[in-house]
């Protein structure tokens, strides 16, 4: 019996949307998967092909790493990544555990910022083409784009050390942007000396650029309020115009990731860590290599917060100009990352422990009462932002108290891909997608015309069913459904 068969033999359904991968073959803990039957079918299909990429095998690999303290988790948007599965969460002991490059990825602290406006559908619908065109011009995007902020070496170091607050101090934002950004837009422990000169050089012209691929900027309408109390706290009302910005740490994060893979491969050998696959290269948390990586990742995280802050300023200026509203009436609802590793306090077996939590393609979703949730949101938990696809809904959700125990306070981050880019190109045509979107009243402005098919709505799982699974699992609660009016892609 091959590996592919044996892994499926260890899967057991333990709830409506909960499955356990029992420890076997070197796993130190179980794997726990929150997903609907359809997604499980997809996971099984991948795993049955021993030559294919399998999110389930990646989950098994995470559960095999030293110092993992509780089941490795896969959330409902799970699909194969590299290292961790996307939609994966893994928590490690600070003394005996490891930090894993593949648990963060190349796009460090990639995430979404949601802005609310005082506008409603009727205020923008007649003028949406002009509004979208202005945003398209205002926000640099696509390969080779340059940001409005051209920084010196010293300034780059301040971005890395200080994050979004530095960008606000330069005049690109308002104080409440920081209040409603995860970690106030700045994570501790950032050490610019842990980042290579090359990584910094690659970033000089990229602060305030959107990037490409699945990164986007969307003008959206709040289509439906699903949880009124939380929606009130988040300042969201039906038909309101909001803007979502999805981007990350750009070239700086990419180079940190690339540098770190090589350093961690050496560290693995140096410390004699037996990893289940080369993609899982890691270092002990307490080792110099592990500490250096964490210091570099904190820089990448700060850079991503700074980038979304710089783009927020561009969006605010553009929208205020094209819609004739005061810039400060465009406010940050929340900014949340979905590729990161952080030290957090969690209760395990009745004991509160400080753990190193990796979230790859998953967000924090801290429930009510936590001190790290902004006071205005503390009764409900902070918002989580779930990106849809170009043609479908996005969701604002929040975490739950139960989710703190079930999933280290984690949430889904998007629909999750169902088809590879290769398959998507074969199945979809860009012009057909554009006309489908137009028929739904959605404008698409893309710097990258060839990539439209790769990001076809049909290449993703149904975001509604992913959200339903997260709700059924008890980890996230939907607050509002957003529908795109205009999509700007890199």
Partner 1 sequence: MPFVYLDHAADLAIRAWGSNIGEAFAEAALAMFSKMVRTDRVEPRIPRDYTLQADSLRGLLVAWLAALLVPKDLESLVFSRFDVDVRAIELGFELRGRALGETLDPERHEPSGEVKGITYLGLDVRKAAGVWYAEFVADV
- For partner 1, give the closer residue by CB, 6 or 449: 449
* 13 binds partner 1, rule: CB under 8 A: no
CB of 353 or CB of 421, closer to partner 1:
421
Q: Is the Cβ–Cβ distance between 74 and 58 less than 8 Å? A: no
Among 10, 24, 202, 353, binds partner 1 (CB under 8 A): 202
- Asked if 153 is part of the footprint of partner 1 (rule: CB under 8 A), the reply reads no
Give the nearer residue to partner 1 in terms of CB position, either 11 or 198. 198
Tally the residues of the chain.
490
Is residue 201 near partner 1 by the rule CB under 8 A?
A: yes
CA-to-CA distance for 300 and 231, rounded, in angstroms?
31
337 binds partner 1 (CB under 8 A): no
Q: How far is the CB of 80 from partner 1 (least distance, A)?
A: 5
Phi/psi-derived region of residue 55, left when phi > 0, alpha when psi is between -120 and 50, beta in every other case: alpha
Minimum distance from residue 67 beta carbon to partner 1 (Å):
20
CA atoms within 13 A on the CB side of 65: 37
> Helix (H, G, I), strand (E, B), or coil: what is residue 371?
coil
Residue of the chain from 142, 189, 405, 458 that contacts partner 1 (CB under 8 A): 142
Distance from the first to the final alpha carbon of the chain? 46
Q: What's the rounded Cα separation, in Å, for the pair 334 and 242?
A: 12
52 sits near partner 1 (criterion: CB under 8 A): yes
Of 447 and 468, CB closest to partner 1:
447
Task: Enumerate residues 363-392 that contact partner 1 by CB under 8 A.
Answer: none
The minimum distance between CB 126 and partner 1, in angstroms, equals: 31
SS3 76: strand
Q: How far is the CB of 57 from partner 1 (least distance, A)?
A: 11
Do residues 248 and 110 touch, judged by C-beta distance below 8 A?
yes
Q: Report the residue from 22, 37, 125, 143 that binds partner 1 according to the rule CB under 8 A.
A: 143
Q: Pick from 162, 166, 167, 165: which is nearest to 179 by CA?
A: 165
Choosing from 23, 213, 235, 368, the residue that interacts with partner 1 (CB under 8 A) is 213
Q: Looking at 226-337, which runs of residues are DSSP E strands?
A: 240-247, 282-284, 331-337
Minimum distance from residue 448 beta carbon to partner 1 (Å): 5
H/E element, 279: none
Instruction: State the Cα–Cα distance between residues 35 and 121, nearest whole angstrom.
Output: 34
- Rounded CA-CA distance 187/207 in Å is 18
- Region binding partner 1 by CB under 8 A among candidate stretches 65-73, 127-135, 274-282, 437-445: 274-282
- Residue in 399, 483, 490, 485 with CA at minimum distance from that of residue 222: 483
Q: Which is nearer to partner 1, 82 or 271 (CB)?
A: 82
Size of the site for partner 1 (CB under 8 A): 52
Stretch in the footprint of partner 1 (CB under 8 A) among 185-193, 397-405, 447-455, 478-486 = 447-455
Q: 223, exposed or middle or buried, with CB in 10 Å at 0-12, 13-18, 19+? A: middle
Contact at 8 Å (CB) between 109 and 249? yes
Q: Which is nearer to partner 1, 186 or 254 (CB)?
A: 254
48 forms part of the interface with partner 1 (CB under 8 A) = no
Under 8 Å between Cβ of 413 and 77: yes
Catalytic residues: 413
Q: Mark 279-318 with x for binding to partner 1 (rule: CB under 8 A) and - for no binding.
A: x-x-------------------------------------
465 binds partner 1 (CB under 8 A): no
* 265 belongs to the binding site for partner 1 (CB under 8 A): yes
CB 79 within 8 A of CB 55: yes
Contacts of 439 (CB under 8 A, 6+ apart): none
- Using rule CB under 8 A, residue 421 touches partner 1: yes
Which residues form the interface with partner 1 (CB under 8 A)? 52-53, 55, 79-83, 86, 102, 105-107, 142-144, 198, 201-203, 205-206, 211-213, 251, 253-255, 257-258, 261-262, 265, 277-279, 281, 417-423, 447-451, 454, 490
């Amino acid at each position: 019996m091959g590996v592919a068969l044996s892994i499926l033999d260890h899967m057991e359904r333990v709830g409506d949307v909960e499955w356990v991968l029992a420890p076997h073959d070197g796993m130190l803990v179980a794997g726990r998967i929150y997903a609907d039957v359809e997604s499980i079918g997809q996971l099984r299909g991948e795993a049955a092909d021993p030559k294919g990429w399998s999110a389930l095998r990646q989950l098994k690999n995470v559960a095999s790493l030293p110092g993992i303290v509780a089941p490795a988790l896969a959330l409902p948007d799970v699909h194969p990544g590299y290292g961790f599965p996307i939609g994966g969460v893994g928590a490690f002991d600070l003394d005996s555990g490891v930090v894993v490059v593949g648990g963060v990825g190349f796009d460090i602290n990639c995430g979404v910022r949601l802005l609310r406006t005082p506008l409603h559908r009727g205020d923008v619908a007649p003028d949406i083409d002009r509004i979208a065109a202005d945003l398209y011009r205002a926000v640099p995007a696509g390969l080779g784009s340059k940001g409005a902020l051209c920084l010196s070496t010293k300034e780059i170091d301040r971005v890395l050390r200080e994050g979004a607050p530095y960008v606000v101090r330069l005049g690109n934002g308002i104080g409440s942007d920081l209040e409603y950004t995860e970690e106030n837009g700045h994570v501790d422990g950032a050490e610019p000396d842990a980042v290579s000169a090359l990584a910094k050089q690659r970033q000089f012209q990229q602060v305030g650029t959107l990037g490409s691929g699945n990164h986007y900027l969307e003008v959206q309408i709040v289509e439906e309020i699903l949880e009124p109390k939380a929606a009130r706290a988040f300042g969201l009302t039906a038909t309101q115009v909001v803007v979502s910005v999805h981007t990350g740490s750009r070239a700086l994060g990419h180079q940190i990731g690339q540098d770190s893979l090589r350093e961690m491969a050496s560290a693995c050998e140096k410390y004699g860590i037996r990893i289940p696959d080369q993609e899982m290269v890691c270092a002990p948390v307490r080792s110099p290599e592990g500490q250096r990586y964490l210091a570099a990742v904190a820089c990448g995280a700060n850079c991503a917060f700074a980038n979304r802050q710089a783009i927020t300023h561009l969006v605010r200026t553009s929208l205020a100009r094209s819609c004739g509203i005061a810039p400060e009436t465009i406010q940050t609802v929340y900014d949340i990352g979905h590729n990161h590793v952080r030290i957090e306090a969690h209760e395990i077996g009745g004991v509160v422990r400080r753990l190193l939590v990796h979230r790859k393609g998953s967000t924090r979703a801290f429930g009510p009462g936590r001190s790290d949730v902004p006071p205005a949101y503390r009764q409900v938990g902070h918002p989580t932002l779930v990106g849809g696809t170009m043609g479908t809904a996005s969701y604002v959700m929040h975490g739950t108290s139960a989710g703190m125990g079930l999933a280290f306070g984690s949430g889904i981050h998007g629909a999750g891909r169902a088809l590879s880019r290769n398959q998507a190109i074969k199945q979809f045509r860009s012009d057909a997608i554009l006309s489908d979107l137009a028929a739904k009243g959605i404008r698409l402005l893309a710097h990258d015309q060839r990539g439209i098919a790769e990001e076809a709505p049909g290449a993703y799982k149904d975001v509604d069913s992913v959200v339903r699974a997260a709700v059924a699992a008890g980890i996230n609660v939907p607050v509002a459904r957003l529908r795109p009016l205009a999509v700007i892609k890199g």
